[in-house]
Amino acid sequence: MSQPDRLLNLAQAAELLATTERFPRRLVAERRIAFVKVGRHVRIPESALTAYIAARTVQPVTARRSGQRRAA
């Protein structure tokens, strides 16, 4: 049986994202990340944060072929 997803409070989510607590609070307010309401408390599943990070990870640019121009 798999482990249940760990629920993080906003301070823990901010620490994982290396931001202030205001950023995950804004993600929740704008409904840009999945969250769980436990009474009046907000918790963010760790898997939702992992998915958020993965979706916004930018891969490095590969080498261009010679002769191509860069956009100005």
Residue with the two structure tokens 């009474």: 39
Domain edges within the chain: 7-55
pLDDT at residue 63, as a whole number: 78
The pLDDT of residue 3 is 77
Q: Minimal CA–CA distance to 29: which of 21, 39, 18, 17?
A: 21
pLDDT mean for each 10 residues of the chain (72 residues): 86 97 97 96 97 95 72 63
| Cα–Cα dist 14/20, whole Å | 6
pLDDT of 71:
66
